[in-house]
Amino acid sequence: MKPMNTGRIVVWGVFALVLLIAPQVFGSGLAITMLSQMGIAIIACLSYNMLLGQGGMLSFGHAVYTGLGSYMAIHALNVVGQGSLPIPVSTVPLVGGVAGMGFAVLFGYVTTRKAGNTFAMITLGMAELVFAMSLMFSDFFGGEAGVSSNRVVGQPFMGITFASAIQVYYLIALYTFVAVALMFAFTGTPLGRMLNAVRDNPERVEFIGYNPQRVRYTAFIIAGFFAGISGGLAALNFEIVTAEVVGAGRSGAYLLFTFLGGATFFFGPIIGAVLMVLAFVLLSEFTKAWLLYLGLMFLFMVMFAPGGIASLIMMNVRIAKFGKLKGLLSTYAALAVTGLFGLFGVGALLEMVYHRQLNAALGSELHYLGATLDAANLDSWIAMAAVMFVGFGVFELVRRKFIKQWSHVQEHIETEIKRRESL
Amino acid sequence: MSAFDQAEATPALELKDLRKSFGKSEIIRGVNLEVRAGERVAVIGPNGAGKSTLFNLISGRFQATSGEVLLHGERINGLKPFEINRKGLSRSFQITNIFPQLSVFENLRCSVLWSLGYKYTFLKFLVNLDDANAKAKELMEMIKLDKKRDVLAVNLTYAEQRALEIGITIGGGASVILLDEPTAGMSRSETTRFIALIKSVTEGKTLLTVEHDMGVVFGLADRIAVVVYGEVIAFDTPEAVRANARVQEAYLGSSVADAQAGGH
């Protein structure tokens, strides 16, 4: 390889450091479980983005490869437990990876023949097929109860038995770092670049010597491998695999959170994966309406920031490079405050609706972010509606000012670029 | 090489009674054409005559209903576009057909990868492929986009995108180049510059080009093929085509007179 530039070394160093010290900073049992899940989700979302962001393949069935990876890994773990497979427990996720790759070889041969809508439809069908099979073949899929296992088997390696969650976390962190590095490396290879070309214009690719189907298929297999690794790690982490891991809900989550994080940048899905775990573990604890909030969030993301969070970050990095970020900061603060104010009102109204529907037996009072609301009292409704309207009203005013400011900054950057070009 | 030898050598591209029907209508109705190696041939004809269809048949985008396409004497019809490309035939498109979300440099580098033998590899890094990077840089300079190296293709001007299209087309080092209306939509001054560019980058290659601007055609081509209603009604030197009564009647008319007046 060419010498790595310092910026890149710093980024990877920080990433390794974060993986290393995260459990020291967030040391509770819940935090470590969540960190483990984040590592698993990062690999899954990045492998998904090989298809979506890099290859333009909108797959509705990525959970097939993570899920089947999970199943193969947990069966492998059980075989290891019986003593008839002499491999260390730490390599069980690789079994998942090979399985994910194998199923991608099998199913991908069909799905990657077509691109675009046809590809999306076939993956949807494939996902339904596998989910239906999971209900039919209960020997392999374990039926309702799923397949459970015990990861504390075999010979301990340097005292590591994976009996504690922290040991599992560090195994996952190691896999995450290596998988992320490999997937990043892939983006810089001939196949990785041709995958982008196929995404942009599959027809033109055919006239520069490449078979776009083969490019898609090969990338699909590689993505299947990493998806399987993610599934294998999940099997090791939870010690149980149920049919929902190959379900449409899981596939949908990969799609939505990869999109939310940002499919156009390599690091976007990492953000998406972290948010996915936060939403599924924390948000679902806080409120019964969490899926509704998620849905609203996606709606606004798709409408106003289709490049995801990563693109928002990169837009501002660009502005910062031209020294124009400072002028926007106060507007950002105003947007945040007014937006949160409005959201507070929306949230209150939604929580009162949910409370009336689901918890009416517990009385009409509810606690909401430090406030006490009465779902049976009109005053609460009027007050919160007022908060919402005032919040969003002012937000809209700030937003109009922001848009002017934004286009002004963009114009400045354009002229600056032209000036530099003409030098 | 004498004129006699040249005529006897295997043609770079040969079409034998090529036919193509869409449903009941026959669009290409028995085309015969022999293009010698190193020759520049302009394909002209009225709109809807089948010029683009002809290119699509040669390049493998469409399958011929009957007849043969021979590239250096080897039959290529029935092959996939990428197989034909690997045998040394490359084409551009009438509608700009580039990789919009890749930079100029990346567009060109993609176009050279296969010919340099990198195929589907994911075990090498692009930054280390010195030959591919040098070739892409050379192409970038040839089409005069070296100042736009990292600009996404989607953000280029129309003329720059057309130049990039040419760059992608010649990138793989094909010996036979098909250009489908390379100057479509360009202003006259842009066209003049662009034709000079095409001449320089296709030096020594066999060139087939569809072109509407008669001034350009008579300045560029060694021979002109006139396609009318799915048939080649004339295939000869510019002078002979200009004098051909059938061509005048069928298609050229006043535009020949214009070219003569303007070009000479």
Q: Which residues in chain A have their CB less than 8 angstroms from residue B125's CB?
A: 1-2, 185, 188-189
pLDDT in tens, A217-258: 999 999 999 999 999 999 999 999 999 999 999 999 999 999
Residue B71 lies in a domain: no
ipTM: 0.91
Contacts of B110 in chain A (CB under 8 A): 193-194, 197, 205, 208
Residue A38 maps to which CATH number? 1.10.3470
What percentage of chain B exceeds 70 in pLDDT? 92
Question: How many Cα neighbours within 13 Å face the side chain of A403?
Answer: 6
Whether the CB-CB separation of B124 and B118 falls below 8 Å is answered with yes
Residue A1 belongs to some domain of the structure: no
Asked, for residue A311, whether it belongs to a domain, the answer is: no
Residue pair A269/A262 in contact by the 8 Å Cβ criterion: yes
Give yes or no: residues A388 and A277 share one domain.
Answer: no
Amino acid sitting at position A103: F
Per-residue pLDDT at B163 exceeds 60: yes
In terms of domains, do A272 and A359 share one? Answer: no
Residue B210 lies in a domain: yes
For the purposes of burial, counting CB atoms within 10 Å of the CB of A188, is it exposed (0-12), middle (13-18) or buried (19 or more)?
middle
Residue A128 has pLDDT above 80, yes or no: yes
The token duo for B55 is: 């290119």
Q: Is the residue at B8 inside a domain?
A: no
Closest CA to A114 of A45, A67, A59: A59
Assigned domain for B110 exists: yes
Q: Do A279 and A328 fall within a single domain?
A: no
Quick one: average pLDDT of A195-221? 97
| DSSP assignments along A57-111, one per residue | ---S-THHHHHHHHHHHHHHHHHHHHTSS---GGGHHHHHHHHHHHHHHHHHHHH
The token duo for B191 is 């066209």
Inter-residue contact B196 to B220 (CB < 8 Å) = no
The confidence band for B251, taking pLDDT boundaries of 50, 70 and 90, is low
**Domain range enclosing A37:** 6-306
Residues A366 and A272 in one domain: no
Q: Is residue A163 part of a domain?
A: yes
Task: Find the CATH number of the domain harbouring B248.
Answer: 3.40.50.300
Query: What's the confidence (pLDDT) of residue B263?
Result: 40
Cβ–Cβ of A193/B109 closer than 8 Å?
Answer: yes
Specify whether the CB–CB gap between B197 and B163 falls below 8 A: yes
Q: What are phi and psi of B204, to 5 degrees?
A: 80, -5
For B113-153, the three-class secondary structure string (H helix, E strand, C coil) is HCCCCCCCCCCCCHHHCHHHHHHHHHHHHHCCCHHHCCCEH
Residue B6 has pLDDT above 70, yes or no: no
Of A291-305, A354-368, B80-94, B113-127, the poorest mean pLDDT is in A354-368
Are residues A416 and A275 part of one domain? Answer: no
Q: How many CA atoms lie within 13 A of A283 on its CB side?
A: 16
DSSP A112-171: TTS-HHHHHHHHHHHHHHHHHHHHH-HHHH-TTT-EE--S--S--BTTB-S-SHHHHHHH
**Per-residue pLDDT tens over the stretch B138-160:** 999 999 999 999 999 999 999 99
Label residue A23 by pLDDT band (50, 70, 90). very high
| B196 sits in which H/E element | helix B188-201
Of B15, B53, B46, B24, the closest CA to residue B251 belongs to B46
Secondary structure percentages of chain B, helix, strand, coil, to 5:
40, 25, 35
Burial (0-12, 13-18, 19+ Cβ within 10 Å), A376: middle
- What is the tens place of the pLDDT at every residue in A385-420? 999 999 999 999 999 999 999 999 999 999 998 888
Q: Given this model, what pLDDT does residue A212 score?
A: 97
The letter for the amino acid at B113 is L
Q: Do A190 and B111 touch (CB under 8 A)?
A: no
Whether A399 has its CB under 8 Å from any CB of chain B: the answer is no
Contact B111 A208 (CB under 8 A): yes
Domain count, chain A: 2
Q: Which residues of A touch B150 (CB under 8 A)?
A: none
Q: Tell me, yes or no, whether A317 lies in a domain.
A: no
Answer whether A218 sits within 8 Å of B120, measured CB to CB.
yes
pLDDT bin (cut points 50, 70, 90) of residue B5 is low
> Which pLDDT band, with edges at 50, 70 and 90, does A4 fall under?
low
Asked if the model's pLDDT at residue B93 lies above 80, the reply is yes
Q: Is residue B73 part of a domain?
A: no
Distance (Å, whole) CA B87 – CA A352? 70
Burial B8-23 (b: 16+ CB within 10 A, else e): eeebbbbbbebbbeee
- Compute, in degrees rounded to 10, the torsion defined by CA atoms B74, B77, B79, B84: 60
Helix, strand or coil, per DSSP, at residue A209:
coil
pLDDT at A359 over 60: yes
pLDDT of residue B1: 45
Cβ atoms B238, B221 nearer than 8 A: yes
Q: What percent of chain A has pLDDT over 70?
A: 99
Within this chain, do residues A117 and A205 fall inside the same structural domain, yes or no?
Answer: yes
- Residue to substitute from A203, A208, A410, interface B, most B β-carbons within 10 A: A208
Collapsed DSSP state (helix, strand, coil) of residue A341: helix
The pLDDT score that the predictor gives to residue A395 is 95
Minimal Cβ distance to B113: which of A186, A190, A199: A190
Same domain, A150 and A75: yes
Kindly state the average pLDDT of the residues A151-155.
82
Please state whether beta strands A365-368 and A371-374 pair in parallel, antiparallel, or not at all (unpaired). antiparallel
Q: Are residues A266 and A395 located together in one domain of the fold?
A: no
Residue A70 lies inside a defined structural domain of this protein: yes
Is residue B170 assigned to a domain? yes
A188 and A289 share a domain?
Answer: yes
d(CA A319, CA B98): 28
- Check pLDDT > 80 for residue B260: no
Residue B8: pLDDT band (50, 70, 90) is low
Per DSSP bridges, beta strands B223-228 and B40-44 are parallel
Q: Say whether pTM exceeds 0.90.
A: yes
B80–A197 C-beta distance less than 8 A: no
pLDDT at A366: 86
Kindly tell me if the per-residue pLDDT of B7 is higher than 70: no
Task: Mark yes or no for CB contact A191/B102 under 8 Å.
Answer: no
- Note down the domain range covering B127: 38-61+80-222+238-263
Q: How many distinct structural domains can be found in chain B?
A: 1
Q: How far apart are the first and last CA of chain B?
A: 30
Same structural domain, A260 and A376: no
- pLDDT bin (cut points 50, 70, 90) of residue A309 is very high
Q: For residue A356, what are its two tokens?
A: 């009336």
Mean pLDDT of B177-192: 90
* For residues A336-348, average pLDDT: 93
Q: Which residues pair with B35 in a beta bridge?
A: B13
Helices (H) and strands (E) in chain A, counts: 17, 4
- B105/chain A closest Cα distance in angstroms: 12
Query: What mean pLDDT comes out for the span A362-369?
Result: 84
